[in-house]
Amino acid sequence: MIRTAALALIAVSCAGLGFVKSQALSARVRDLLLLRKILRLLTGEISYAGTPLPEAFYRIGCKMEMPFRDFLQDLSVDMGKYDGASFSEIFNRNTDCHLKGTRLTREDLEEWKEFGRMLGYLDREMQLATLKSFDETLAEKISELKEGLPAQKKLYRSLGVLGGLFLVIFLV
């Protein structure tokens, strides 16, 4: 009886793991879309309102969900402290602190940090060009992910179920 329950638990756990991994793919796309929303709002703040970066980050943070809200608002506050750190250092520190818990991959976070390095020291026109360039890069990445998303999600779910069944058969 206990053996049967343990085998059933193994099968269900493996299947659940496949479903969790499948949902993580969807969450990554959602997080990338939120980064893209930040870029678009920042473009509007810089180009139309002429808002300085610290104020723009704080305003945009008010419109975002967690953890992006904390990232943007803390970035704004840290920029106002004038503690001698460069914008790139502040951006990287806040990215590491607030965005580690997201479903963004290490590569996504490195590209985001590179965007921060390019954004901080440029004039208004170059900032807008940087925003546009990174927005296009994100759009391509999101498009590629969405294209393969259904097949990858199905693969993870299937591997979870089949892996669980394989373990059960192996242990019997």
Ranges of the chain with pLDDT below 70: 120-122
For 69-106, the pLDDT digits (tens) are: 988 898 888 888 877 777 888 888 888 888 888 888 89
In which residue are the tokens 């808002």 written? 51
What pLDDT score was predicted for residue 26?
87
Report the greatest alpha carbon distance in the chain.
71
Which tokens in the block code for residue 27? 């969450």
Phi, psi for residue 163 in degrees, rounded to 5: -65, -40
| Residues contacting residue 125 through CB under 8 Å, at least 6 positions apart | none
Which conformational region is residue 105 in: left (phi greater than 0), alpha (psi within -120 to 50 degrees), or beta? beta
Answer whether 15's CB lies under 8 Å from 171's CB. no
- pTM (2 d.p.): 0.82
CA atoms within 13 A on the CB side of 83: 9
> In a 3-state reduction of DSSP, which class is residue 93?
helix
Cβ proximity of 28 and 36 under 8 Å = no
- Check residue 159 and give its pLDDT: 84
Is residue 125 a contact partner of residue 92, using CB atoms and an 8 Å limit? Answer: no
CB 78 within 8 A of CB 6: no
Hey, is 80 helix, strand or coil?
helix
The pLDDT of residue 14: 82
Q: What pLDDT sits at residue 121?
A: 66
Task: Report the C-alpha dihedral over residues 47, 53, 59, 62, rounded to 10 degrees.
Answer: 130
Residue 122 has a pLDDT of: 66
Backbone angles phi, psi at 64, to 5 degrees: -100, 165
